[in-house]
Amino acid sequence: MPTMDIVSQQNKKVGTMDLDAAVFAVDVNYPLVHQVIKAQLANRRQGTAKTKTKSEVRGGGKKPFKQKGTGSARQGSTRSSLNVGGGQNFGPQPRSYEQATPKEMMRGALRSALSDRVKAKRFMIIDEFTFSAPKTKVFAEMMKNDFKLEKVLIVDERNENLELSGRNVPRIRVLRTEGLNVYDIVRHEWIFVTKRAAAAITARLSTEA
């Protein structure tokens, strides 16, 4: 069971916390993480790209010239894909890119991604984030001066002042615990989790849940 320091908003140690080994100290399954990220990105695709086929392009009803005697290849329509202004063969059509991912695979990939950050010592537990009002400048200075870090994923329970303060800061993303996902964990170098968020994540991903 890994034990992590709990630090304040000013990066001062204020205590320790034991993390559930079944969530934060599992063997990292890299193929599973890769598969879940691929599915997650595929599910974001709209699948609305479309080109017109020969039958959908306006015009071309008349045979452009007679079949024989011109010395040119026979043509039945000016809207053939061989001609300028014609339809396109094998172009994209509306489709769904969705990949179904079982819930236990998602949970397993989250455990692996979190465990990887813990093992790499790029996981930090914050006691709490308290802002009297949304203050982007105060938040940015805190990250720059107190923590001296970039590319940070911050996870907390509902905290609107934190969310509004951090949403426009480059290379930093603030998520609620229910929005925690594998892709955002992997694309950020550091993860900051509040004490209450760590408890919520453990309840969500525990093998006994």
On whether both 14 and 68 belong to a single domain, the answer is no
Residue numbers of the domain that contains 113: 3-45+98-205
On whether both 158 and 183 belong to a single domain, the answer is yes
How does pLDDT run across 177-208, given as a tens digit for each residue? 999 999 999 999 999 999 999 999 999 998 75
In this prediction, residue 113 has a pLDDT band, given cuts at 50, 70 and 90, of very high
* Of 136, 133, 148, the residue nearest 189 (C-alpha): 148
The single-letter code of the amino acid at 39 is A
On whether both 83 and 16 belong to a single domain, the answer is no
We report the CATH number of the domain holding residue 188 as 3.40.1370.10
pLDDT of residue 2: 82
pLDDT above 60: residue 65? yes
On whether both 32 and 116 belong to a single domain, the answer is yes
On whether both 39 and 67 belong to a single domain, the answer is no
pLDDT of residue 1: 77
pLDDT of residue 60: 85
How does pLDDT run across 10-53, given as a tens digit for each residue? 999 999 999 999 999 999 999 999 999 999 999 999 999 999 99
On whether both 150 and 201 belong to a single domain, the answer is yes
**Structural domains in the chain (count):** 2
On whether both 155 and 179 belong to a single domain, the answer is yes
On whether both 32 and 128 belong to a single domain, the answer is yes
On whether both 107 and 155 belong to a single domain, the answer is yes
Q: Which of 68, 91, 114 is the last residue of a domain?
A: 91
pLDDT of residue 208: 59
Mean pLDDT of 135-145: 93
Mean pLDDT for the chain overall: 93
On whether both 173 and 153 belong to a single domain, the answer is yes
